[in-house]
């Protein structure tokens, strides 16, 4: 079957659907199309994304850069720099900004947070 025939066959099938069914089919296909991107976003990050997260947590840009570098060095960036910072803050019972300074200054601060 060539492309034109396939297209015509699909067109005939779609003619049978109501507006509501067409809308439902449209959103199903949209979800199917974007699902790989959603999955990728859940499992992958980048230093720039993690710095942006830290900035929104109230960490200054130089300290955020240091925190991300330390997380990268320790191999835990995939867990999220913000998550690591929150864990240090809770573990050591200190303010997030103090925790950020601590992490940026010493990568040993991150040891054991995620089993690494």
Residue 30: the pLDDT is 93
* Model pTM score: 0.66
Considering the domain architecture, whether residues 52 and 106 belong to the same structural domain is answered as yes
| 89: CATH | 1.10.8.1000
DSSP character for 58?
T
Half-sphere exposure in the Cβ direction for 74 (13 Å, CA)? 26
Residues 6+ apart with CB under 8 A from 69: 47, 104
Considering the domain architecture, whether residues 51 and 97 belong to the same structural domain is answered as yes
Residue 116: the pLDDT is 55
CA distance 36 to 13: 27
Does some domain include residue 116?
Answer: no
Residue 87: the pLDDT is 95
Domain total of the chain: 2
Give the range of the structural domain holding residue 32, as residue numbers without chain letter: 3-43
Considering the domain architecture, whether residues 51 and 106 belong to the same structural domain is answered as yes
Which tens digits make up the pLDDT trace of 16-43?
999 999 999 999 999 999 998 878 777 7
Does some domain include residue 95?
Answer: yes
Computed on alpha carbons and rounded to an integer, the radius of gyration of the chain in Å comes to 23
Low-confidence ranges of the chain (pLDDT < 70): 116
Residues 6+ apart with CB under 8 A from 105: 66
Residue 71: the pLDDT is 94
Residue 58: the pLDDT is 96
Instruction: Let me know how long the chain is.
Output: 116
Does some domain include residue 36?
Answer: yes
The answer to whether the beta carbons of residues 56 and 94 sit under 8 Å apart is no
């Amino acid at each position: 079957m060539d492309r034109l025939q396939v297209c015509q066959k699909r067109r005939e099938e779609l003619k049978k659907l109501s507006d509501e069914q067409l809308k439902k089919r449209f959103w199903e296909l949209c979800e199917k199309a974007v699902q790989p991107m959603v999955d990728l976003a859940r499992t992958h990050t980048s230093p720039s994304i993690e710095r942006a997260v830290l900035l929104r947590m109230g960490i200054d840009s130089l300290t955020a850069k240091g925190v991300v570098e330390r997380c990268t060095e320790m191999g835990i960036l995939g867990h999220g720099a913000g998550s690591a910072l929150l864990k240090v803050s809770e573990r050591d019972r200190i303010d997030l900004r103090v925790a950020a300074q601590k992490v940026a200054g010493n990568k040993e601060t991150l040891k054991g947070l995620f089993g690494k």
